[in-house]
Structure 1
Amino acid sequence: MAYFKEKEILTIAQEGTLSNRHISLRPTKLAVSLFVLSAAIWLGAVNYQVNVAYAVCFWVVGFIGVAALLTRRQLLGLQIELAFTDEVFAGQTADVLIRLHGGAAHRARLLWWRGEYAQTIDEHQENQFTAWQSLHISGSLNAPTETIWAIPIVQRGYFPRPLLLKWATSAPFGLFHAEARAEWQSSAVAFAAPLPHNDFGTAAEPDAEQTPQQAGAHGDDIAYLKNHQHGASLQHIAWKVYAKRGELMDKVFDEPPPAAHSEIISYRDYPQGTPVEKLASLLTYRVLQADKLGAPYTLELPNLTLTPQNGLREKCLNALALM
């Protein structure tokens, strides 16, 4: 009866290995039929004292036992690695890379897998699982088998839980069905879906503390001289040059470069009471636009302010995803 117990679910953060405590095994109709056949042969051997019948009965039972062990070995020791390094926005599909190794046992494996999104699966609700997919795993450690698990992302924030993978096989003879489940405990985050718009607060005002561009126009920081322009201020004429050469020349002073003002992307730019989901999408759009333009920007949230820094785009998108 141990074969029919609910087995332990393998927990995977990045990688894990299936062991005996994760694998359940049950006979198929073919195995049950062979077992009934062997029982009938045994009864015939007892009634008619046919030694050959005893041999056939023991051979059939032995074959059933070997088939059970070989089917379990298809999953036993299977090493599973899960990786997600891309970015995904709400409403898209996250493509998670599944990499499978045969482990220390250098043998080929034939199995099926599917993703599941509930602890208890109702086969009539297709949104709880994906379709079965087949995999053939070679026995080479240097050639892992890779496939993609497409996870639909409905909303922003951490990936939905539970995220389960079911592994199943009936190889090599189809007499038994072995299966195991693994749960991916991911810390991956789905960003808010950007919502395009133009109706937000006014543009950033120039920095009041920035020195005006004409500062120093009456000082001694002369960049160069140019011919006097009619109507120009007499204060800019280089009188010393006029005294020496008799030419009217205008002084051109050094000016500071235009200030690169940091755009402030703030939740205050929107009406009070804007739903959080909508606000996150609105701000996400502006962060993506500002990052695309390459201009410095600051993100202001109710409890957090992110100023220009390394990795600002990812930090802003994460903050909005978890806002």
Structure 2
Amino acid sequence: MLQHRTIYVFPSKQGAAFLVLILLIWILGTNYQNNLILGLSFFLTSVMLVSVIHAFKNLLGLIFIPDAIQHAAVGDVASFDIEISSSYLNDHHGLLLRVNADFDPIRADVIAGKVTQVRLNLPARHRGWLKLPRIVLKSYFPFGLIRAWAYIDLHHRALIFPKPIACDQPPLGPGQGDEGIYVSMQRGDEFQGFQNYQPGSPLSQIAWKQYARGAGLHLKDYRALQSEHYWLDWQALNTHDTELALSNLTYWVNYFADSNIEFGLRLPNQTIERGTGDVHRLNALTALALFGWVQED
């Protein structure tokens, strides 16, 4: 939460020009001993002072919470989602958030009692964990005369996958099921037997006949049959370029996952067992992204 000691205020360019105008008006009123002109200078001075107070309060009490971790590939844009709320019962207007000079600042308004979500973007230049750098928060509310700003450090990061690069053939290692059929790990229509009941399982999977015979609660296990499966193997790659090898494997991981083909991944010192689905894809891509990763956040 932003507190008094972390918020800074200073006149903006318009505010500096406004102060010069006040000084000129005051000198003019003093020389001509005109109370009306002097009153105008005092009024404008009070406007400047009120602007300082409101600019400060516009940042005071803001709370920043990192949202879920996002993913991107090298060469793409990594996104960081942040939730902003207020600890006080007042609105915050015209907030500008920026982390990189290559991107325009993000504007946000925070309504009291509600959560505002913003997304900050950074270029993904390297695989692995990308930490969100210090955020510069600015505001020129209410009249643009005062610039209030603060620095925000969040423990937020994004996971960057290698850039997918196609190669002629998938780097397949030993263990392919090229002949016959085998039982897939994904659910299908082929009955394979019974499993112990797990709380929360669908009622349609319960073996009611077994339960009626007094055998207890069991689940019917159905699996799909698949003619072949694949193992993507680091040792099958014909390159000594580590980053290129990871990019080739990333391409085939996405290809098999998009085609709903079961596959496994063998890396030096790590093996991802065969499977399908988005969770399996994420596990494989995470292993590729963090291969040899030693940098500490």
Q: Which TM-score bucket, shorter chain as reference?
A: 0.5 to 0.7
Aligned to 2:253, what secondary structure does the other structure show?
Answer: helix
- CA-CA distance at 1:25 after TM superposition: 0.9
TM score, norm. by length of structure 2:
0.67
Higher strand share: 2
Partner of 1:183: 153
Distance change (3 Å), C-alpha of 1:165 and 1:263: same
2:107 paired with 1:134 = yes
Partner of 1:267: 234
Aligned to 1:81, what secondary structure does the other structure show?
Answer: strand
The answer to whether the 8 Å contact 1:84/1:188 transfers is no
Distance change (3 Å), C-alpha of 1:129 and 1:81: farther
Partner of 2:10: 26
Partner of 1:222: none
Aligned to 1:179, what secondary structure does the other structure show?
Answer: strand
- CA-CA distance at 1:84 after TM superposition: 4.2
Partner of 1:218: none
State the distance in 2 between where 1:258 and 1:105 align: 60
Distance change (3 Å), C-alpha of 1:97 and 1:200: closer
Cα deviation digits, residues 233-291 of structure 1 (max 9, x gap): xxxxxxxxxxxxxxxxxxxxxxxx988654221110013x5211101111111222222
Distance change (3 Å), C-alpha of 1:38 and 1:277: same
2:50 paired with 1:66 = yes
2:270 paired with 1:304 = yes
**Unmatched runs of 5 consecutive residues or more in structure 1:** 1-16, 117-127, 211-256
**Unmatched runs of 5 consecutive residues or more in structure 2:** 181-223, 292-297
State the distance in 2 between where 1:194 and 1:147 align: 28
- Aligned residue runs from structure 1 range 1-323, under 5 A: 17-27=1-11, 28-34=15-21, 36-37=23-24, 40=27, 44=30, 59-116=43-100, 128-137=101-110, 139-142=111-114, 144-159=115-130, 161=131, 163-201=133-171, 204=174, 262-271=229-238, 274-308=240-274, 311-323=279-291
Cα deviation digits, residues 82-120 of structure 1 (max 9, x gap): 32444321122223334332332323522333232xxxx
Aligned to 1:21, what secondary structure does the other structure show?
Answer: helix
AA paired with 1:158?
W
AA paired with 2:289?
A
- CA-CA distance at 1:195 after TM superposition: 1.2
Larger Rg computed on CA atoms: 1
State the distance in 1 between where 2:35 and 2:259 align: 88
Distance change (3 Å), C-alpha of 1:282 and 1:186: same
Please report the RMSD computed on the Cα atoms of aligned residues, expressed in angstroms.
3.5
State the distance in 1 between where 2:166 and 2:41 align: 73
Matched positions, count: 243
State the distance in 1 between where 2:132 and 2:107 align: 23
State the distance in 2 between where 1:38 and 1:186 align: 50
State the distance in 2 between where 1:167 and 1:206 align: 54
The answer to whether the 8 Å contact 1:71/1:171 transfers is yes
The answer to whether the 8 Å contact 2:172/2:232 transfers is no
Percent of aligned pairs with the same residue?
20
State the distance in 1 between where 2:231 and 2:169 align: 15
State the distance in 2 between where 1:106 and 1:98 align: 20
The answer to whether the 8 Å contact 1:114/1:129 transfers is no
TM score, norm. by length of structure 1:
0.63
Distance change (3 Å), C-alpha of 1:64 and 1:199: same
